[in-house]
Amino acid sequence: MTRINIEQLRTFLAVVRLGGVRRAASGLNLTQPAVTARIKNLEDSLACELFERRSGGMRLTKRGELLLAHAEKFEHLTELVERDVVDPQGIDGRLRLGVSETIAQCWLPELISRLHGLYPRLDIEFNVDISLNLRAGLLNREIDLAILLGPVSEYFVNNIELPGFDLAWYAAANTEPGLTEDKYLSRPVLTYARNTRPYRELKEMLFERVGPDVSMFPSSSLSACFRLVEADLGVAVLPRALGQEFVDTGRIREFDPGWVPSPLRFTASYLGEPRSHLIETAAKLALEVATEYQRDRNS
């Protein structure tokens, strides 16, 4: 009797989708020998070769193509069982989150707390990075759920739009009030990292409104930007949600040059295939937490 188990099929699908044993091992958090052994056992159980091993990589055989169609149907059925039957508190596994720093400093702790409450046996890994790197990690299947400046415009990526973040201009608390725009913006402008949409948009606006001689100091650390503003080493345009604490404690203050870049738009983005009830639930929970965070700030 042919015996096939769920883990063998999941491993088979990972090798196909990720393009080889090494990347499948990374995606499944296994060693390469473990992945190779699962594929070999699956081939032995089916008495056929599923892959052609070539110097350029692994390609599905005709029987491998047939198995792929059946494995995807089985995967979908397994997902329905997990969604409708399995108690969430009994689900274990790993969720790899990638988040922008703005999110990490605002409502990420609440999201992780709620995920742990819903899935107490779940291991949650999170990485804080710029959206460009998070997007690459998602597309390379190194991240399960990316909360980033979105959306990710690939047809196989699902994007859930999240509440945005208004931006505001900040200067040191001891800066003279009532300065003209050109006086404020003659200072270095501290803002998001160079390879980000907010940096690009701000650069274009400064060029149009002030001229090409404005000094911009990009940084991957928003908290460092606030500290440099506090030390009167420049001005900054940053999320009001993060700046409010500094303003309330009198360390910096807002100023209005008459314009401000558009709000930051974030999405909870994840791959549409393979479907995962766990990842979809985490994305919807991110929307719930983000909406509550914004409502509490506005109340």
Task: Name the token pair of 204.
Answer: 């274009």
Q: How far apart are CA 229 and CA 166, in angstroms?
A: 18
Tell me if the bond preceding 274 is cis, omega within 30° of 0.
yes
Q: Is the pLDDT of residue 113 over 90?
A: yes
* 88-164+265-298 under CATH 3.40.190.10, yes or no: yes
Task: Name the token pair of 195.
Answer: 């390879």
Cα Rg, the chain, nearest whole Å = 24
CA angle, corner 57, sides to 54 and 62, nearest 5? 70
How do residues 170-206 score in pLDDT, each as one tens digit? Answer: 999 987 766 666 677 788 999 998 888 999 999 999 9
Query: What residue has token string 């909360």?
Result: 147
Confirm if 191 and 236 have CB atoms less than 8 A apart.
yes
Q: How far apart are CA 230 and CA 251, in angstroms?
A: 6
Phi, psi of 270 (to 5 degrees): -155, 160
Query: What residue has token string 């089985």?
Result: 74
Diameter of the chain measured on Cα atoms: 83
Q: How far apart are CA 16 and CA 249, in angstroms?
A: 54
How do residues 215-270 score in pLDDT, each as one tens digit? Answer: 899 998 999 999 999 999 999 999 999 999 999 999 999 988 888 999 999 999 99
Task: Give the other-Cβ count within 10 Å of 114's Cβ.
Answer: 15
Q: How far apart are CA 249 and CA 176, in angstroms?
A: 18
Q: Measured in whole angstroms, how far is the alpha carbon of residue 191 from the centre of its chain?
A: 20
Q: Does 6-84 match 167-255 in CATH topology?
A: no
Q: Is the pLDDT of residue 1 over 60?
A: no
How do residues 18-60 score in pLDDT, each as one tens digit? Answer: 888 888 888 788 889 998 988 888 888 888 898 888 777 788 8
Q: What is the CATH number of domain 6-84?
A: 1.10.10.10
Q: Residue ranges of the domains in the chain?
A: 6-84, 88-164+265-298, 167-255
Query: What pLDDT is attached to residue 44?
Result: 87
Query: What pLDDT is attached to residue 174?
Result: 85
* 167-255 under CATH 3.40.50.1820, yes or no: no
